[in-house]
Chain A
Amino acid sequence: MSTKTARPGTTGRVPASRPAGDRPPRRLGDGAFAALLMLPGLAMLAAIVVYPLVASMVTAFFEQSLVEPGRRFVGLQNITELLGGDFWRLLWQTLVFTVGATIAPFLVGLALALALNTRIRGRAALRGLLLIPWLVPSVVVSFLWMWIFNANYGLANGALEALGLIDSPQAWLAGSGTAMTAVIVAKTWASFPWIMVMLLAGLQTVPVELHEAAETDGAGAVQRFFAVTLPHLRGIIGIVLLLEQIWNFQHFDLIYVMTGGGPAGATETFATAVYETAFQGFDLGRAGALGLLWMVLLLVMVAIYVRRSEREGQL
């Protein structure tokens, strides 16, 4: 910023005279001025993010109910009880959901992006149509798939029975072995368009000359994919996978609406467990402890993302 330009709203002249004893107005540095401009935003951030975050972290060290007054300091008791109890089961189930709901939509998105990057007929229309699942609100997606997988009147059973793939209706969401898969399928449907769009954008930056040169050298389609396309997409794939992992690690609505974390806790993740503990079990202390442990794990993933983004020059 130039310091020679007259400040807007002033003439730029020094006052002709100043009463004796008056000090000249104190000048504010650019840094301090910028900090002051940010102050309202920071105050809002502190009020709606930092304060609740700190308050919930502090709650982790208390025995506190949502419906009863008062609280009692219990130190690390909530955390040690969790580490000796449900924490590892929840971590495993959260990881299963996170990995499944990241890899499956990635593979679908990649396949579709590759298909849409070719000169197929109706490409523009298909690109629009395939975005629809991403535009549908998550709760609507959840109800949609809940009905599809319903054991007694669901579309999935009807279709599979008609195709002769199953003999009798299956309880997809009520079976501890199938519920997580059903939830991952629903999440895949909701997530693949975003991944597809990101990868398609990346594919369109792959220089055609590289493919032509590889083709001249005798490389087939599969060889060109692994030798030319994939290395070029490496950066964007890394970011997409990492972001999906972070989002899935904290995903709540689809799991909660479809299964409520059941049956018998088979689809319970950190997100649903914190909600259930705080707002169904009314145990704020335990919910705070769970949230604290969950946040530490999430921070590790965010740190990896930030480091990777810096390396890729995308921050």
Chain B
Amino acid sequence: MNSNLSRRDMLRLVGVGAGALGLGGLAACAPSADGPEEDKATSATDFSFASWSLADNASKAKIEQLMSGYGSKAGVTVKGLPLAYNNYLNQLTLQVRGGQFTGAAQMDIAWLAGLAALGKLRDLGDVAKNAGYTEAALSSGQVEGKQVGLPWTTAAIGLIANRDLMQKAGITSAPTTIADFETALRALKGTGVIPYAASTKVAQLKDILIWMQTFGSPLLEGDKVTVGDDASIEAVTWYKKLYDEKLIAPDVERVDARTLFAQGKTAMYDDAIVGRDFVVKGSPDKSIADKLDPIARPVKNAGDKPRAVQWGHAVVVVEGEGANTATDFAKWLTSDEQTVLGYFKDLSLPPTTTAALASEQVKTDAFTSQFSERITATATPNPFWKYPQYAQMETAISEHVQAVLVGKSKPADAMREAGQAVQALIK
């Protein structure tokens, strides 16, 4: 190769390089079509699957097995995109908005409105028909009547207690009122454990919302935010009291709570049904599964209906390359009986189809039955979920509650400001 290049040669090369760069830039800047790009392929094509379960050690292997199982069946490659739960929504939003992600994605039912607002989710209404989902499950995947997600698992978030630790503290039955609950927490504190590993970090302080509802705040009436009303202030004042009395602990979010519970260092914490798998796999106590006791959330006044917030995962399909195959994958993943029962067996996540729910395997699972009876039975969706700005609303409330916990703000001031901040997000 002759390395003696003349200036003229160099200029030619610069010209070619600049031209290539320009063409590349133009290609990158080219406007996309008005609507989402359709997947024109009639045969199966490779696609991506975004999932926070892929980023969790407890569930990663199972999800990978499901992906490869479908891949072998359909003759395609399912490329996993693992994203941690706490950053999942904003990372996925950025990728979908920038056109960098197409395919299927696991979604918390709380986030559906936010992602749907981008206008890139496929309407799965026709796919959901005759797939055997229960009506309640189907509604968890809808935004303004449009089926944007296929329900994968549905249940609720509730209190899970360690039966052994409760008995050691002399608590023989689950507390049913707030007053009983406080008494139980004080008894537990005397045994040297963290009585209740409630969320105190912003990432999961959304759990306070269900306590606000327990104290009687509707959170939302029409489009009017009621955070800041007497009930919400009372709830936060009570939470602060638990914090100051060390009945709940600082520096705790869901992952910390699960770890503390698995190690027998706390007697109670809030979790979805999925928590059982994390706790059992992460505990040095081989018999911890037998000690798990899902309990109904205490009520303010005896006779009130216990509150619980719905919880669930759906699978959405982002339009674009591979979307048709991703749709087929989403349906298979969430409704194929053998697949969903295998998922239930390995990760304890209840299925969403009538046939699978009626199977012996699900009906005879004691923890699932108890969780369904005591917690899921009275669960309702969070009223803020319908807004695309839900994530910001949740953060605004959580930050104000945290300010109360660390003594930087008074409950009444904080809740009034939180209510105003959330109201401002509703347009």
**Contact, CB under 8 Å: B6 / A152:** no
**Minimum distance in angstroms from B53 CB to a CB of chain A:** 21
Interface positions, chain B 111-131, Cβ under 8 Å from A, are 114, 117-119
**Contact, CB under 8 Å: A260 / B405:** no
B97 in the interface, Cβ–Cβ < 8 Å? yes
**Contact, CB under 8 Å: A264 / B402:** yes
Number of interface residues of B (CB under 8 A): 48
Pick the interface stretch among A32-40, A106-114, A222-230: A32-40
**Contact, CB under 8 Å: A152 / B265:** yes
Interface positions, chain A 29-52, Cβ under 8 Å from B, are 33, 36-37, 39-40, 43-44, 47
Task: Name the residue of chain A whose CB is nearest to the CB of B427.
Answer: A68
**How far, in whole Å, are A155 and B9 apart by their CA atoms in the complex?**
64
The 8 Å CB contact of A33, one of B7, B97, B114, B403, is: B7
Interface positions, chain A 146-183, Cβ under 8 Å from B, are 150-153, 171, 173-176
**How far, in whole Å, are A38 and B28 apart by their CA atoms in the complex?**
23
B14 in the interface, Cβ–Cβ < 8 Å? yes
**Contact, CB under 8 Å: A280 / B6:** no
Residues of A within 8 A of B90 (CB): 279-280, 282
**Minimum distance in angstroms from A66 CB to a CB of chain B:** 7
Task: Name the residue of chain A whose CB is nearest to the CB of B90.
Answer: A279
A280-B391 CB under 8 A given contacts A9-B6, A171-B250: yes
Pick the interface stretch among B200-208, B231-239, B279-287, B327-335: B200-208
The 8 Å CB contact of B93, one of A66, A176, A262, is: A66
B1 in the interface, Cβ–Cβ < 8 Å? no
**Minimum distance in angstroms from A2 CB to a CB of chain B:** 15
Residues of B within 8 A of A174 (CB): 200-201, 250-251, 405-406
Task: Name the residue of chain B whose CB is nearest to the CB of A30.
Answer: B7
**Minimum distance in angstroms from A310 CB to a CB of chain B:** 32
**How far, in whole Å, are A36 and B203 apart by their CA atoms in the complex?**
51
A266 in the interface, Cβ–Cβ < 8 Å? yes
**Contact, CB under 8 Å: B10 / A280:** no
**Contact, CB under 8 Å: B6 / A43:** no
The 8 Å CB contact of A39, one of B18, B391, B408, is: B18
**Minimum distance in angstroms from A28 CB to a CB of chain B:** 6
**Contact, CB under 8 Å: B399 / A265:** yes
Interface positions, chain B 88-113, Cβ under 8 Å from A, are 90, 93-94, 97
Residues of A within 8 A of B11 (CB): 28, 36
**Minimum distance in angstroms from B420 CB to a CB of chain A:** 14
A280-B250 CB under 8 A given contacts A37-B10, A47-B25, A264-B406: no
B260 in the interface, Cβ–Cβ < 8 Å? yes
**How far, in whole Å, are A45 and B194 apart by their CA atoms in the complex?**
54
A36-B251 CB under 8 A given contacts A66-B93, A152-B260: no
**How far, in whole Å, are A35 and B25 apart by their CA atoms in the complex?**
21
Residues of B within 8 A of A47 (CB): 25
**Minimum distance in angstroms from A171 CB to a CB of chain B:** 4
**Contact, CB under 8 Å: B392 / A282:** yes
Instruction: Pick the most buried of B18, B90, B194: most chain A CB atoms within 10 A of its CB.
Output: B90
A137 in the interface, Cβ–Cβ < 8 Å? no
Residues of A within 8 A of B392 (CB): 280-282
**Contact, CB under 8 Å: A9 / B2:** yes
Q: List 7 A-B contacts (CB under 8 A).
A: A10-B6, A25-B8, A37-B10, A40-B14, A67-B118, A153-B265, A280-B395
Further pairs besides A8-B6, A174-B200, A280-B392: 10, Cβ < 8 Å: A7-B7, A9-B5, A28-B11, A36-B14, A43-B18, A43-B21, A66-B93, A171-B250, A264-B399, A266-B408
